Amino acid sequence: MIPSSTTISDEGRRTRRTLLCLFGGIVALNLIVWAATSLSSGGSVSGPDGSTFVTTRDGSAAVAGMLERLGIEVVRSRLPLDEAALSSETTLVLIDVAAADYTTSELRALEEFLDAGGSVIVAGATEVVGRLLPDASVWRSQGGSIAHPRGPLLEEDSFQSVLLSGFGSFEVSNSDTPIWVTDGEEAVAVARSVGDGFFAWVADSYPFHNDGIGQGESAVAIYRLLDPSGTVVFDEVRHGFRQNGGLWLVIPANWRRMLGLAGVVALLGLIAYARRLGPPHDFRRRLPPSREAYLEAVAGIMSRAGASADATEVIRTEARARLRARTSEGADLAEVAAAAGLDGRETEAILGESRDDETLMAADRGLAILNQEQR
């Protein structure tokens, strides 16, 4: 028995509409957010906080730009620290690296860099300092709004004050020397000598941001802290910028999230369309097998049962009756068959006396043609 035409169920259609609407809503929401951000940013380049590629208020493009205008060579490194070229005249700057993962080989490269006479400046809360210096100062969230230079490692008259965000200060260890302190004597920047190199950590990264570097004497304070004698290298790997990082890293973060959600929706769609337990729902109608294959099967069955001759005679009688109905009595049926579109083999099968399997199939083809012509 040929199964009746089936298609996706009503429940499947509702699920499909729901998934499509959900996916369309996610895409539309991201487009709206992207458009609003683009219009409000005035053409700014958004991205991770502290990145020198980012021109929004929490980026640090202004720091790199200031140094470049002063004629200092600036490198925005997209290589891991154990692969970057760091000489003893280099100043390495890590801004807002937070809980970034530095490998053991990178930490070893930092130690060797400092021992050789390099300088490392860290801005903002981070875990890398504790891994690099076991006796490092402890970062605290409590901070101040303004800081002044202090200590033998920094000239007292290098600047008057630097504005802060009020977030970040230190519980100073015995190995560190405060170099920026608030009016309440809280240390917001500490420094020490490591080997032949110089290490400094600023608890509040606000002066390094585009929004903070233009406030008060922040630009002067940062320049005095860096005091570059050679190249200044900014670590951009921790902000997601890698050499040969591939297309995925170039896509904005919100679009990456949207694509991830789209993948989840697509997976749910596949699950919704998949065959489940019970009677399956086909997307296309199941058509019967080709007539020739069907007839071959029937002919084989009838041949084994010895009934092919009877079947041939039944088809032949019906086909002849249809040919006679097309013309007057006594006309040449072969000519009528040719006019109806039958070929010689089909005509011979209908008008002849042979009763083998091939004759049965040819006669049936001829009868099918006559039925179509009659319609």
pLDDT tops 90 at residue 325: no
Please answer whether residues 188 and 181 qualify as being in contact, where contact means their C-beta atoms are separated by less than 8 angstroms.
yes
- Please state, in angstroms and rounded to a whole number, the distance separating the CA atoms of residues 63 and 45: 15
Q: Which band of pLDDT confidence, cut at 50, 70 and 90, is reported for residue 48?
A: confident
**What are the structural domains of the chain?**
61-251 (3.40.50.880), 291-374 (no CATH)
Higher pLDDT among residues 9 and 329, named by residue: 329
DSSP assigned state of 346: H
**β-pairing, 177-182 with 146-149?**
antiparallel
For residue 122, what is the DSSP state? E
The set of residues, in sequence order, having a beta carbon less than 8 Å from that of 332 and lying 6+ positions away, is none
Question: Residue 122 pairs with which residues in a beta bridge?
Answer: 94, 201
Check residue 293 and give its pLDDT. 67
> Helix (H, G, I), strand (E, B), or coil: what is residue 363?
helix
Structure pTM? 0.58
Q: What is the DSSP track for 297-331?
A: HHHHHHHHTT-HHHHHHHHHHHHHHHHHHTS-TTS
Q: Closest by alpha carbon to 163, among 140, 188, 139, 128?
A: 188
Q: Highest mean pLDDT range out of 148-157, 204-213, 248-257?
A: 204-213
Q: 104: burial class by Cβ within 10 Å (0-12, 13-18, 19+)?
A: exposed
pLDDT at residue 96 is higher than 50 = yes
Task: Write the Ramachandran bin of 131: left for phi over 0, alpha for psi from -120 to 50, otherwise beta.
Answer: alpha
Q: What pLDDT shows up at residue 252? A: 58
Q: Which of 30, 16, 19 is closest to 264 using CA atoms?
A: 19
Do β-strands 91-95 and 232-235 pair in parallel, antiparallel, or remain unpaired? parallel
Least confident of 67-76, 155-164, 218-227: 155-164
- pLDDT band at 6, cuts 50/70/90? very low
Query: In this predicted structure, which of 162-171, 182-191, 356-365 has the lowest mean pLDDT?
Result: 356-365
pLDDT of residue 42: 52
Asked if pLDDT for residue 335 goes beyond 80, the answer is yes
Instruction: For residue 52, give the 3-state DSSP assignment.
Output: coil
Which pLDDT does position 281 carry in this prediction?
Answer: 58
Amino acid 373: pLDDT: 60
**41-71 per-residue burial string, b: 16 or more CB within 10 A, e: under 16:** eeebebbbbbbbbbbbebbbbbbbebbeeee
